[in-house]
Amino acid sequence: MSEDNRYPVTPDGRYFVVRGRLWRKSNPALAPDLCEQLVKELMHARRAVGAARRVKDAQKEDEAHAAVDCAKRALGERGPVWWDDGAPDYNRHMARNTPYAKWFAKFEE
């Protein structure tokens, strides 16, 4: 399970699972201070998305979504994978449709 014990983490530590879907974890090789700064940027950008939606400002919302994407890429959660063993990326796939299916089945019971 993940640090907060709410979401299962794959045995290789690459993904956590929410409602059966795999979500790529941040690159564990990032320096802790850099990771902390990027998470702050991500949270700021997510709040900006909400603020733009509340005032119905499509341009600001697009800019905020781009900032979210930028932070997630810097964290390694999107874009090129952070592992180097050639394994494919299953980000956003349903766990039951991936090589993690057998492992995940124990959480569906």
Q: In degrees rounded to 5, what are phi and psi of residue 63?
A: -65, -40
- pLDDT range class, residue 2, cuts 50, 70, 90: very low
Q: What is the pLDDT of residues 45-70, one digit of tens each?
A: 999 999 999 999 999 999 999 999 99
What is the band of 4 on the pLDDT scale with cuts at 50, 70, 90?
A: low
Of 38, 44, 79, nearest in space to 63 by CA: 44
- Residue 41: left if φ>0, alpha if ψ -120 to 50, beta else—which one? alpha
pLDDT of residue 108: 76
What is the model's pLDDT at position 5?
Answer: 62
The residue with greater pLDDT, 39 or 2, is 39
DSSP E strands in the chain: the ranges are: 15-18, 21-24
